[in-house]
Chain A
Amino acid sequence: MTDNDESLGIFAGTLGVARRDLLLAWKRPGDILNPLFFFAMVATLFPLAVGPSPEQLEFSGPAVLWVAALLAMLLSLNSLFLSDFEDGSLDQMLVSPLPLSALALGKTLAHWLTSGLPLVLVSPVVAITFRMPFSVTGILMLTLLLGTISLSLLGSIGAALTVGLHRGTALLSLLILPLAMPVLIFGARTVSLVAAGDGVAGGLYFLGAYAVLVLSFAPFATAAALRISNE
C-alpha cells in the first residue's frame, strides 16, 4: 500500500512540475513563439542562400527543416533551469522528498510540450514552401516527433550541467550538438530517403529506440548534474 502511494507521489510530482512550467509558459507566450519564429527564419535563410530553383529546394528541404528544428530546440534549452536557479525554486526541488529525477523529467516534459511539439506542428507549413509532398511531410512530422523527444531529454542534461555558469550559452551548444548528431542524421536521412521513394521503417525504429534509450538515463543524469551544479 505504501509502495503504491509513493509511486503515485512520484508521478504526481512529475506532472505537478510539468503543469507549473506549462502554466508559466502560458503566461509568457513569447517563450514558446520565439523558437518557432527562429525555426521559420532559419528555414527562410537557406532558400535565400541557395537560390530559388525548385529541384534544389525539394532536395535540401528535409535537411534544412531538421537543422532549423535542432537549432530552435537548442535556443529554448538555455532557459530550462535558469529561472528556477535564479528565483530559488531549484533549491526547493533539491530538498524535496520526491526524487529529483522525477521532477527533472517533469521539467523536460514541459520543455518538450512547449518547444518540441510546437515545432512538429508548425513544420508542415514550412515544408510546403520547400515543395515537400504531403506523404513525405507526414514522415517529417513523425521523425521530428521522435527526434525532439530525444533532443529535449539530452538537452536537459546539458542545461543542468551549465546552469550556474556565466559562459553557459555557447558551451551548451558545444556539449549537446555532438550528442544530438545521431538524431539529426537519422531524422533528416529518413525524410530524404522517403522523398526518394525508399523504405522508412529503419530510421523510425532507430529514432524510437534512441528516444527510449535517452529516456532511460537522461532524467537521472540531469538530476545528478543539477545536484553537482548547485553544490
Chain B
Amino acid sequence: MWKFIHKLASPPHFYRLAAQIVPWLVVPGLLLVAYATYAGLFLAPADYQQGDAFRIIYVHVPSAYLSMMTYMIMAVSAGIGLIWRIKLSHAVAAAAAPLGAWFTFLALMTGSIWGKPMWGTWWEWGDPRLTSELIMLFLYFGYMALRGAIDDTVKADKSSAVLALVGAVNVPIIHFSVEWWSSLHQGPTLVKKGGPAMDTAMLYPLLAMILGFSFLFGALLLRRVRAEVLFRERRTRWVKEMVLSGGT
C-alpha cells in the first residue's frame, strides 16, 4: 500500500499513469453526459411548477456540486502537500484551482439564467447559496492571486496551501447556509431525509449528469496536473530524455 503511494507520488510515474487513465475517464464521461443530455431534454417530464425551465438543473447542479468538490480536493491535496511535503499533491492543488473557479462561474451563470424566469430577477442577493457561491468564486480568485504573486514555486505552494485550508473552513458554512437562512432558493431536493424529492425520470438523468461531469472533471484535472508536473520538472533528466526520445 505505502509502496504504491510512494510510487504514485513520483512525478515520472504519475505522468505516465495519468496519461493511461485519462481515456478511461473521458469515454464514460462523454457517454454519461450524452445520455443525460438526451434524457434530460426529452425523456424527463416537464416540472409541474416550473415547466421546461427546470431543465437547466442538469447543468446547474453538477457545476455547483463540482465547484465545492473541487475546493475540497484542492484543500485536501494542499494539506497533504503541506504535511507530508509531497510535491505532486501541491501540483494537484495548483491545477485544480482554475477548474474550480470555472465550475463556480458556470454554477453562478446557470443559476442566474434559471433565476430570471423563476424569481423574475437575474440576481437575488437574498439567496444565501447564490451569495456563498459568489464568495466561493472570490476564494478561488484569492488563491490564484496569491499563487501568482509569489515567484518561488515551493513558497507559493506552501503559502497557498495555508490559504486553502483556512478557506476550507468556509465550505461547510456554504453548504449549511441553506438551512441557516430562509430564502428564495429551493431547499435541497437531492440530499434529504427519506430519499430525493424528485421523480425518477427527472432524477436519473441528473445523477448521470453529475457522474459524467465528475468523470470529465477527473480527466481535465489529470491533464492539467500532467502539464503542471511537466512544467515543474522541466529541468529534470526524465523530462529531457522523454522529450528527446519524442515521447509525450
Interface residues of A (CB under 8 A from B): 154, 157, 161-162, 165, 167-168, 171, 174-175, 177-179, 181-182, 185, 213, 217, 221, 224-225, 228-229, 231
Contact = CB atoms under 8 A, between A and B. Distances in A.
B96 interface: no
B159 A174 contact: no
B162 A221 contact: yes
Nearest to A166: B149
Interface string B132-163: 00010011011001100110001100110011
B150 A178 contact: no
Contacts, number: 59
A37 B138 CA distance: 28
Top 5 A-B residue pairs of the complex, sorted by shortest distance between their CB atoms:
A178-B138, A228-B158, A175-B142, A174-B142, A178-B139
B167 interface: yes
B173 A225 contact: no
Contacts of B154: 231
Given A174-B141, A174-B145, A228 B155 contact: yes
A171 B165 contact: no
Given A161-B146, A161-B159, A171-B145, A178 B167 contact: yes
B169 interface: yes
B135 A171 contact: no
A171 B149 contact: yes
A217 B169 CA distance: 10
Given A224-B162, A229-B159, A231-B155, A175 B146 contact: yes
Contacts of A182: 170, 173
Contacts of A177: 138
A157 B141 contact: no
Contact of B142 (A167, A178, A213, A229): A178
B159 A228 contact: yes
Chain A facing B: main interface SS:
helix
A208 to B, nearest CB: 15
A188 to B, nearest CB: 12
B149 A221 contact: no
Contacts of B150: 165
Interface in B37-83: 82
B184 interface: no
A154 B139 CA distance: 14
Interface string B163-206: 10111011001000000000000000000000000000000000
B101 to A, nearest CB: 12
Contacts of B141: 174
A229 B139 CA distance: 20
Contact of B146 (A171, A213, A224): A171
B170 A217 contact: no
A224 B150 CA distance: 16
Contact of A165 (B149, B162, B165): B149
A229 B167 CA distance: 18
B135 A178 contact: yes
A18 to B, nearest CB: 23
A29 to B, nearest CB: 32
Nearest to A158: B163
Contact of B166 (A162, A167, A179, A231): A179
